[in-house]
Structure 1
Amino acid sequence: FAPLQSIDLSTLPRCFGYPLSIFFIVINEFCERFSYYGMRAVLVLYFKYFLRWDDNLSTAIYHTFVALCYLTPILGAIVADSWLGKFMTIISLSIVYTIGQVIMAVSSINDLTDYNRDGTPDNISLHIGLSMIGLILIAFGTGGIKPCVAAFGGDQFDEEQEKQRSRFFSLFYLAVNAGSLLSTIITPILRGEQCGIHTKQQCYPLAFGVPAALMAVSLMVFILGSNMYKKGHPEGNIMLQVSKCIGFAIKNRFKQRSKQFPKREHWLDWASEKYDKRLIVQTKMVLKVLFLYIPLPMFWALFDQQGSRWTLQATTMDGNFGAMQIQPDQMQTVNPILIVIMVPVVDAVIYPLIKKCHINFTPLRKITVGMFLASLAFVAAALVQVQIDKTLPDFPKEGQSQIKVINLGTDVAKVDFGPGIQNVSVESLRETKYLTFDPTSLKNVIISYGNETTNELLNVMGKERHTLILKNTIYIQTALLLDGLTTKSEDGKNKIRFINNLASAINITMDGTSFGHVNNFSATNYTSFTRGVKEIVVAFTDNSLTCKNQSMSFGYGSAYTIVIQECNNDTLGLRYVEDIQPNTVHMAWQIPQYFIITCGEVVFSVTGLSFSYSQAPSNMKSVLQAGWLLTVAVGNIIVLIVAGASKLSEQWAEYVLFAALLMAVCIIFSVMAYFYTYVDPAEIESQIDDEEKKNMDNEKWPGSILKNPISQTEM
């Protein structure tokens, strides 16, 4: 690849006055953001429903991954500026990125494995291992190129093209949001498809495979523009210089502690023996802003839970929007949609109105308001969660098992589960609710119909749901069915199974899906169906008789056992047993919390980036941008610490805890902001340059009298 010095800039192709190379960069960014956000949109559901991790572990791994994605930009910036340059860093880490996405897609393939009794894929450790390798590679890839791509695009413009450069960044930001928006709509749809050769499952290989393909396209598009790019050699990393300056100041301060030296105004002045005044003053400005960053990670701790806790919350809600059926992970699209709408509205309407009211809405006040709004968003999420909790079934926990009894017989059945456990009586053609037991105490069950009694052994394990079906004919028949339903459906579909209570074997079809041959007193497996009314057709295997009937109207996220009771005049007699209640709290109730937190993001994130840029010295803007990204990483680490340490059993209580923590941090930040003094880095740097020039003139003409234009106390 040719260095910048070997390229004749006038020969580079242009389009409408813009370097043609930037369009390759914009397309590259669109595809990369589609790849990242598309994979991330379904990630927490992949952990929960494919790897079968619980909510807490799924959330922990998700935020660990996001934290790593925002820690690695520092490494990417150092590699680009110190060794490889931006171009080669983007190429190298994009290859790593693509490999990681491919490994994630491969890790979710389950056709070559069987499923264990608890629903986990066989060889689960292999799936977990591949997933972790894939996520680590993705984190290094996306984080490493993050500080390089936008800056590389800005490098393509000449100095006199400031207007075009500004428009490029707007186009670049649009590509980021477009990629994010489309991917969070499309990949949940791909996940919702049924795919597989041996077993039909949620299609995570497709949901991860398409982002992997887009990342490969991103890499190829970037390489295609290679001959058009302006590429510069690495010039040394300013972050390393700042770190060395700080380290030397600390070391020199303690080294000279016992000696008599004049007191210095600032502890960084102890670096003056080795570093020039310009670097020291610039470092002071940077540290002043970084100190303000200390409380900011708490905002990101709440904000990034949109992809974890809020998505898991949506799995327990009703996604019926009339003509549209919204998947839980598609609710994340509310944020980018609102961002695209609200950023221009806030800039063009809200801020001017505030200014007309003569309110001095400074950047730090905007950031404070953003934190306050994020806290309110979690209060709204807690209120929604309280309503959801009223509708959730009580699933078995560790050390528990649940059994429901369905009596298909003609008489009352009495069931004795053993010493110390309450006996139950079940009316004919009725059922009990799920009964919770300690599985170690369930050894056998005694079933009685009048004077007729039978003793059956039970083989149950912890965290399982079973259905015990009973019938009295010539003798007492029993069957223990493993339900396998211990969570809400991740896609809002309804789980339906059938029990044949007729005297002969039948074939069952519902809505065109065949359940196959079902013997008398036998049950099918659960199959997923969308909401609405379905046609059920039963064909007898010993004759040509067929019966049919319309099902009840299924809701969203329910589970039913349908008992085939009779076939009378070609009409099917059905009985419905509710295994899991349908979702009744609508997903639309999440919109207020998304709206509030997006308002917070607009005044927090956009303002924070602008503030960081305006308060940074000209050659240290990358240092503050890296510091800003670091607050996102720390925020995700806070989620791990708080969620792990709180041990709260109720999700609404955890939401309230996060809201309270952010509110406390918001108050602390407002105090810090009150004492912050805004600076003009360009003016200070100009004063230092003038001072150095006068000092040089003073050395050349010792007799002249020059006034020092800036003192340490002014810093």
Structure 2
Amino acid sequence: MSEKQDIEKSQAVELQEPTHLNLLTERERELLELEARLNSELDAKLLANPDRHPTAVYFILPNEFGERFCYYGVAPNLNKYFMQITGMSKLDAKIYTTIFNMLAYFFPLLGAALSDSFLGKWWTIISFSVIYLIGMILLTVFAIPNLLGPIGNVNHGLTFLPMVIIALGTGGIKPCVSSHGGDQYLPAQERAKDRFFALFYVSINVGALITQFVVPVIADKGCMGQKDTCYPFAFLLPTIVFFLSLVIFAVGHRWYRVVPPAGEFLPWKAIKAAFLARSRHSKASKEEREAKGHWLNFAEEEYGGVFLDECRDFALSMAVVVVPFSFCKMLYVQNQSEWATQYYHMNGALFGKDSKILAAQYSNLNTIFIITLLPFLTYVVYPFCERRGFNFTLKRRMAVGYFLVIVAFALSAVISGPIEEGFKRAGRSSSDPKVLASYDGTYCAECLSGWAQFPQWFLISLGECMFSPTGVQFMYVESGRQFRAVGTSFWLVASSFGSIWITIFDPAMVNAGMSTTARNWTYSGIGMGGLVLYLVLAWFYVPRKERQSINQAAREAKEAEYRLTSY
């Protein structure tokens, strides 16, 4: 059966069996009717050509390319920038870089809440993009030598101010762009939507790949009176690319399908519903509790059965991934700080004495591996396993990916000792962070070759391919319709929690006098504990599609949803 026939059949089913609509709240019915009116013309065009991507996609993908070009033009270079320009110590540079990552993955909570509740996805993306652009302009200006003070003696807080603004901007955008792209497809176009998410992830990594080759080269050239740094022009390029991508996204407004916001703050609504239901449940008799079933149903009259069921689904899916994967992300995000500092101690002349590969360029291995490995896993490995009777479910992919990240970080612990020994034999000193950063990519005969990092980059990239896009898909599928952007934001906030763990553990381990090797092994052990926690929670987790709804309204709405979708 063709995809067009699937759509027509599913719509016929929906028209014949609309009984679930009668069980929705008045506000929920109003939103569905409004969405249908706003998108009637675009939906008709989609029905006419269901196998084609909506026109809107060609404005969304360049926007994601530009945003990722900008983000990865900055983030991998921060550790070195803080040491060279601000004069931070190795520990301070790592902590400030980690805090930036923490904020960038914490603010998605704000962006998703505003998007689903009040602004809608388009206005949220536009608004936070303007904030993002302001931060990039400030970062570019503040990077001008001696503007904020002498090189190597710049106020840390003032230097970090643009990073807070950038984190707010990128965080507000993160949970909205992918879900906005998914909104451009009709419910029965799941196969076309799958292709979109593949293209979306490719656009992310292509943007990251290009910028991480270009920006470090510009930053390493002399300009504005500096012999070996040029951060103002290095940060100017991502700023320009992001501005152009924002213009392209804004121009596409007339082609976007619109999913109206709820008009009320969903997280607060969910909290109020839970407290009201719990209060009534605690006061209810045994007979009343048996009649209501699930305790959340005690708030059904005010909040509607569908919303309450989606609150339950969201809480269960969040519990499985957020805390356990915060420890996975704790390991993963250190490839921008710990692994970069490790590379400064190594021989960066990877293709002969006269070659020079900077740490930010070498980290492009991650992007190259993702671009090649992800399609291979999606179109070869997973189907092969299914044909052999092994269902590589989302939960299993995430578990294997998590384990590979731990192994990758353990490998970094294995080579830490030989790296430091070779560095000392070369007569180099790492006491001055500015001097250490200047060794980035330079030739050192006694130092361990940068190729020694190759296995850990391969494993962490393979692990990312298995847990990262799968985690986004897991939260999208396992969250109800009203919570999909919020669900994505909580998957992203696991990265923020991971960064918080680093700011707690790293200073404590340094103050305790632990060596780099000991710290890396300790982190690996903590990560393994997080994996065990995930495996236990995943074992008892029942997928949303198989989970019994808590009331009749939710049950009929869910049945109608799954008649329209293939997942």
> Which one of 331, 341, 363 corresponds to residue 302 of structure 1?
331
> Which one of 73, 90, 100 corresponds to residue 125 of structure 2?
90
Query: Distance between the aligned counterparts of 1:692 and 1:215, measured in 2?
Result: 40
**Structure 2 letter corresponding to 1:650:** S
**Structure 2 letter corresponding to 1:662:** G
Query: Distance between the aligned counterparts of 2:538 and 2:192, measured in 1?
Result: 34
CA contact (8 A) 1:367 1:607 kept: yes
> Which one of 83, 93, 100 corresponds to residue 48 of structure 1?
83
> Which one of 320, 344, 348 corresponds to residue 292 of structure 1?
320
Q: CA deviation at 1:687?
A: 6.0
Q: CA deviation at 1:54?
A: 1.3
> Which one of 407, 410, 426 corresponds to residue 376 of structure 1?
407
User: Aligned in 2, Cα 1:367/1:88: closer, same or farther, shift over 3 Å?
Assistant: closer
Q: CA deviation at 1:193?
A: 0.9
CA contact (8 A) 1:617 1:682 kept: no
Measured against aligned partners, the alpha-carbon deviations of 1:542-591 in whole angstroms (never above 9, x if no partner) come to xxxxxxxxxxxxx34xxxxxxxxxxxxxxxxxxxxxxxxx5521111111
The answer to whether structure 1 residue 187 and structure 2 residue 215 are counterparts is: yes
Q: CA deviation at 1:384?
A: 1.3
| Paired residue secondary structure (1:321) | coil
Q: CA deviation at 1:138?
A: 0.5
TM-score, normalised via structure 2 length: 0.81
Q: CA deviation at 1:159?
A: 5.9
Measured against aligned partners, the alpha-carbon deviations of 1:366-406 in whole angstroms (never above 9, x if no partner) come to 322222221111110011111111123499xxxxxxxxxxx
**Structure 1 letter corresponding to 2:538:** A
The answer to whether structure 1 residue 651 and structure 2 residue 516 are counterparts is: yes
The answer to whether structure 1 residue 120 and structure 2 residue 146 are counterparts is: no
User: Aligned in 2, Cα 1:211/1:382: closer, same or farther, shift over 3 Å?
Assistant: same
RMSD (Å) for aligned C-alpha atoms:
3.4
CA contact (8 A) 2:549 2:555 kept: no
CA contact (8 A) 2:116 2:482 kept: no
Query: Distance between the aligned counterparts of 2:39 and 2:472, measured in 1?
Result: 34
Query: Distance between the aligned counterparts of 2:455 and 2:479, measured in 1?
Result: 36
CA contact (8 A) 1:316 1:388 kept: yes
CA contact (8 A) 2:117 2:266 kept: no
Q: CA deviation at 1:688?
A: 4.2
User: Aligned in 2, Cα 1:326/1:201: closer, same or farther, shift over 3 Å?
Assistant: closer
| Paired residue secondary structure (2:107) | helix
User: Aligned in 2, Cα 1:390/1:346: closer, same or farther, shift over 3 Å?
Assistant: same
Moved more, 342-351 or 593-602: 342-351
CA contact (8 A) 1:375 1:662 kept: yes
Query: Normalized per residue, which structure has more helix?
Result: 2
- Structure 1 runs not aligned, ≥5 long: 396-432, 436-462, 465-483, 494-554, 557-581, 694-715
Query: Normalized per residue, which structure has more strand?
Result: 1
Moved more, 10-19 or 229-238: 10-19
Measured against aligned partners, the alpha-carbon deviations of 1:448-489 in whole angstroms (never above 9, x if no partner) come to xxxxxxxxxxxxxxx78xxxxxxxxxxxxxxxxxxx985352
Query: Distance between the aligned counterparts of 2:377 and 2:198, measured in 1?
Result: 16
Q: How many residues align?
A: 512
**Structure 2 letter corresponding to 1:598:** S
Query: Distance between the aligned counterparts of 1:639 and 1:616, measured in 2?
Result: 29
The answer to whether structure 1 residue 102 and structure 2 residue 137 are counterparts is: yes
Query: Distance between the aligned counterparts of 1:190 and 1:331, measured in 2?
Result: 15
The answer to whether structure 1 residue 615 and structure 2 residue 474 are counterparts is: no
**1:526-537 alignment to 2 at 5 Å?**
none
Q: CA deviation at 1:352?
A: 4.2
Moved more, 74-83 or 330-339: 74-83
CA contact (8 A) 1:67 1:636 kept: yes
User: Aligned in 2, Cα 1:213/1:271: closer, same or farther, shift over 3 Å?
Assistant: same
Q: CA deviation at 1:307?
A: 0.6
Q: % of aligned pairs identical?
A: 30
Query: Distance between the aligned counterparts of 1:233 and 1:659, measured in 2?
Result: 44
User: Aligned in 2, Cα 1:291/1:208: closer, same or farther, shift over 3 Å?
Assistant: same
Query: Distance between the aligned counterparts of 1:270 and 1:379, measured in 2?
Result: 49
Based on CA coordinates, which of the two structures has the bigger radius of gyration?
A: 1
Query: Distance between the aligned counterparts of 1:270 and 1:687, measured in 2?
Result: 14
**Structure 2 letter corresponding to 1:487:** L
The answer to whether structure 1 residue 636 and structure 2 residue 499 are counterparts is: yes
> Which one of 134, 148, 153 corresponds to residue 162 of structure 2?
134
Q: Which residue matches 2:12?
A: none
Query: Distance between the aligned counterparts of 1:10 and 1:674, measured in 2?
Result: 40
CA contact (8 A) 1:69 1:139 kept: yes
Query: Distance between the aligned counterparts of 2:111 and 2:131, measured in 1?
Result: 13
User: Aligned in 2, Cα 1:276/1:11: closer, same or farther, shift over 3 Å?
Assistant: closer
- Structure 2 runs not aligned, ≥5 long: 1-34, 559-567
Q: CA deviation at 1:662?
A: 1.1
TM-score, normalised via structure 1 length: 0.65
Query: Distance between the aligned counterparts of 1:18 and 1:262, measured in 2?
Result: 50
Moved more, 623-632 or 335-344: 623-632
Measured against aligned partners, the alpha-carbon deviations of 1:591-641 in whole angstroms (never above 9, x if no partner) come to 111111122222222332333233233333333222211211111111111
CA contact (8 A) 2:297 2:550 kept: no
Query: Distance between the aligned counterparts of 2:546 and 2:304, measured in 1?
Result: 17
Higher relative contact order (CA 8 A, sep 6+): 2
Q: CA deviation at 1:194?
A: 1.1
CA contact (8 A) 1:37 1:180 kept: yes
Q: CA deviation at 1:357?
A: 5.6
CA contact (8 A) 2:139 2:162 kept: yes
User: Aligned in 2, Cα 1:160/1:674: closer, same or farther, shift over 3 Å?
Assistant: closer
Query: Distance between the aligned counterparts of 1:485 and 1:629, measured in 2?
Result: 32
Moved more, 220-229 or 599-608: 220-229
